[in-house]
Structure 1
């Protein structure tokens, strides 16, 4: 089983050595999962980019997941949204959503994001050294930003982040993975119903006012759930893992503390190097084809390793190291029509949060030895359970 789930494993911040070996020896290879489920793993940058960018040859539709798992995944667990849909449905939904995620439209959130970051820094200071950076900083910031975006009622906000807390740990037991989708969709459906009756100033209210019945309540709930998936756990993991990475690079910390221009390239390199979303949404071949010297049959699942692609040595020997000066290309947000619609929002949060953290706590350090940090196991989104820091 370890071999099959190798693309979901890490050694600290780095992909396991087995992934690099696969990339070198067989960049397209077979994975055999339990219960008779199999897939093709793609690890090279060029091949991954080609697969995830080709909607004519590959499908994202959730019905393929149901078929490939032999009913272990059910139609009722379809999360909807953009990640598990194909054109023309995907095109219609993304066309409605994209205007809300332009830099110009998102700029209205900048002051509130800065307030949320400062609020959590105040919590850290009040708690005192040492403190868990995940609990006080990394998790609350994206959760509260999404609450602002979706106009989640204040009484619900304390419980809101729990909806995504275990979505990506596939061996977390009952209530995780596919089962957790059901609970999240139920809450999002209630939120949509409330917004349909009284549209607010958030994203859902805007979509309802501008598109009315063109987007169904089910579709709106799926879009909201997709934002929770794509915008909470991923950004929280980036904030925590990025802090670890920066604490190993004091020269970068000094640059982002003292030079406002340094944060943008640093964030891009962190996105590439860390690649917290380890696998892209599964693709399914629409017809028989050849890929990397292998014959792929129509209907077969193709898994693209984003963490492998973003460390591909074919792009340069320096891909295994963290260096903001290189500004290497990356697929951390995906590519093509399925590229993460919230990419700019994530960048905004990271660019505000990191400099603020190290300006408030210039002597920040790990509160435990680095080899005692507990990382997630077998997780689609890599992260840490907790992160004690001190100053």
Structure 2
């Protein structure tokens, strides 16, 4: 699709395929001013050469309470868990929170989860049976859900309610609604009780580990643990579900690439990197604000201005990805899917590991795999940040032995 005029951001065509719009913006309006649903002006940055350095520039802040007007903030009852975490804080608070969290997110710990991730994946595939039709978002998407609930130490009896609350709490379209606030308040209340219980009876889980991490005499308070749990819960589920769904979608759309991956399974890590570059789970980095009057690529942005750094657009920029609108698992990895700098995704290694295991096991088991509906019928998640199919119906049959 060729665009000859300024495109509509976040309309139906954009949600289905934002990359033609990004290509137009990179050429014609690389720092693009638009209006947020709340009526505030904002700027979308689209070129790699601008996005990457500004991800690491302290002149863009993250503190929602410092920069947003009161009417644009979440209600006071849930504001603490949505704003008092690593994602929405600046140094020195961010530096301290990330340092403490990193102690529980070591490379060794992530790799130690491999056997459990493999076990969960095999159990989910066993449940699908040798052939049939399923929505992979509902079935294989249970992998990151199960894993994050186990990591947080949520009792299995509570998973259904926990999932229902967290889905509503991560829905960009319902943010600020009564339903959103009710779900977030319920999740907050449950998680606070869970933290209190683990203070008395710690387990072998990430939440219990976060309670005991120390940097000198410093540790996380209960309020900080609550905000951290929310961040890990929403980030650990939704982005990895999207990664798995998008990976399957683009492999099925590109049968030559699927055939190459089946013939050379050692390319699986590179295939995951290309999925992240080509159609990563986060279209834009989370909201930032100009700490002072700044200029990006010749465009002035006033102090307090809202800035979105376009991760998806930057990863398609032909300056770093020649022929970037073509999906090619042989391509050398260079993308910003997990951000860059101090706010780079702390769970990126875990997401990669889950993606590799899920896709590898799926392709190994099912020699036949195809979409169960025409591609134009797929529904994509709307919003400024998360990117991925809302459902992915597929037909499958086990590989011939």
Structure-1 separation of matches of 2:143 and 2:11 = 25
What's 2:189 paired with?
186
What's 1:118 paired with?
122
- From 317, 322, 325, give the equivalent of 1:312: 317
What's 1:206 paired with?
209
Secondary structure of 2:327's match? coil
Query: Residue 153 of structure 2 contacts residue 203 of structure 2 at CA under 8 Å; is this kept in 1?
Result: yes
Q: How large is the RMSD of aligned CA atoms in angstroms?
A: 2.4
- From 324, 329, 341, give the equivalent of 2:329: 324
Correspondence 1:43 to 2:40: no
Query: Residue 73 of structure 2 contacts residue 79 of structure 2 at CA under 8 Å; is this kept in 1?
Result: no
What's 1:26 paired with?
29
Note the C-alpha offset of 1:356: 0.4
Correspondence 1:70 to 2:78: no
Query: Residue 9 of structure 1 contacts residue 378 of structure 1 at CA under 8 Å; is this kept in 2?
Result: no
Note the C-alpha offset of 1:16: 4.8
Structure-1 separation of matches of 2:213 and 2:355 = 30
Structure-1 separation of matches of 2:332 and 2:182 = 39
CA gap 1:194/1:300 in 2 versus in 1, 3 angstroms: same
Secondary structure of 2:319's match? helix
What's 1:131 paired with?
134
Structure 1 residues 72-113: Cα deviation after superposition (integer angstroms, max 9, x where no partner)? 534442413211011111111111111322221212211110
CA gap 1:169/1:19 in 2 versus in 1, 3 angstroms: farther
Structure-1 separation of matches of 2:116 and 2:293 = 50
What's 2:238 paired with?
233
Structure-2 separation of matches of 1:184 and 1:282 = 23
Structure-2 separation of matches of 1:339 and 1:53 = 9
Query: Residue 77 of structure 1 contacts residue 182 of structure 1 at CA under 8 Å; is this kept in 2?
Result: no
CA gap 1:114/1:339 in 2 versus in 1, 3 angstroms: same
What does 1:85-104 correspond to in 2, within 5 Å? 85-104=89-108
Structure-2 separation of matches of 1:52 and 1:176 = 33
Correspondence 1:295 to 2:300: yes
TM-score, normalising length: structure 1 = 0.91
What's 1:161 paired with?
163
What's 1:108 paired with?
112
Aligned residues: 385
Query: Residue 213 of structure 2 contacts residue 219 of structure 2 at CA under 8 Å; is this kept in 1?
Result: no
- Consecutive unaligned residues of structure 1, counting only runs of 5 or more, are none
CA gap 1:34/1:99 in 2 versus in 1, 3 angstroms: closer
Secondary structure of 1:363's match? strand
Secondary structure of 1:356's match? helix
Structure 1 residues 235-271: Cα deviation after superposition (integer angstroms, max 9, x where no partner)? 1011112111111233433444454421110000101
- Consecutive unaligned residues of structure 2, counting only runs of 5 or more, are 1-5, 397-401
CA gap 1:250/1:36 in 2 versus in 1, 3 angstroms: closer
What's 1:340 paired with?
345
Note the C-alpha offset of 1:201: 1.0
Secondary structure of 2:368's match? coil
Correspondence 1:151 to 2:153: yes
- From 357, 365, 380, give the equivalent of 1:360: 365
Query: Residue 321 of structure 2 contacts residue 334 of structure 2 at CA under 8 Å; is this kept in 1?
Result: no
Runs (4+) of structure 1 moved beyond 6 Å?
Answer: none
Correspondence 1:17 to 2:20: yes
* Most deviating of 73-82 and 164-173: 164-173
Structure-2 separation of matches of 1:10 and 1:317 = 24
TM-score, normalising length: structure 2 = 0.88
Note the C-alpha offset of 1:300: 1.3
What does 1:257-268 correspond to in 2, within 5 Å? 257-268=262-273
Structure-1 separation of matches of 2:392 and 2:11 = 20
Structure 1 residues 126-151: Cα deviation after superposition (integer angstroms, max 9, x where no partner)? 7x51112111112x110001012111
